Amino acid sequence: MIVTIDGPAGAGKSTVARMLAQKLDFDFLDTGAMYRCVVLQGRRQKVDWKDEDGLAQIANELVLEFDGTLVLLDGEDVGSEIRSPEVTALIHYAADNLKVREAMVALQRKLASEDDVVTEGRDQGTVAFPEAECKIFLSASAEERARRRVEQMRQAGQDVTTEEILEQQNLRDRQDEAREVGGLKAAADALHVITDGMRPFEVVEHLERLVRIRR
């Protein structure tokens, strides 16, 4: 069975998708991490960001593994490095590159062919798995998403204001929504879940019920 969870940055997708996969005993696919690894590898290989074919070649040669909560690039745990602001700022070079997207979707389909999977991203229900048995579009208001992000960053010792986070978030929403191929969009048959005021475990319980009805 394939469960897709799409939605904007900061909707809590990764947290709840990972928890849901664990509850259902499904594999978990963090597809944002894949695009982030392409960028990290591009930085390491000092790619010319305007060279679309060069970046596509990096995407095609990526040696990527997911091991529980770990993201391994060439066997190295890159979980925190791929979420750095430097990688996030360059992510559009990977996400806007059609050949990179083709490589990522092929990899996602290969990984999902091996087992039941919860897969999380922007285009999982629309492009990667249009036949998925259960599609969720997870969202929350811009203010709630920014508030959660600020809380998370302050807990990690970073000094940020809600205004700057909202500004970055609005920019990423616009980039994700404007992308012609693989842009952020709910599939016509997706179930919309808005998580304002809900704790992660409440969201997971709700999603679990939605999945079990379709199993």
Q: Minimum Å distance from CB 39 to ligand DC?
A: 9
Distance CA(197)–CA(35), nearest Å, equals: 30
Q: How far is the CB of 124 from ligand DC (least distance, A)?
A: 6
Least distance from ligand DC to the Cβ atom of residue 55, Å: 14
Smallest distance from ligand DC to CB 42, Å: 13
If the CB atoms of residues 169 and 191 are measured against ligand DC, the closer one turns out to be 169
Choose between 42 and 182: whose C-beta lies nearer to ligand DC. Answer: 182
Chain positions contacting ligand DC, by CB under 6 A: 9, 31-32, 35-36, 91, 95, 121-124, 172, 176, 182
Q: Closer CB to ligand DC, residue 24 or residue 127?
A: 127
Question: Which CB sits closer to ligand DC, 83 or 206?
Answer: 83
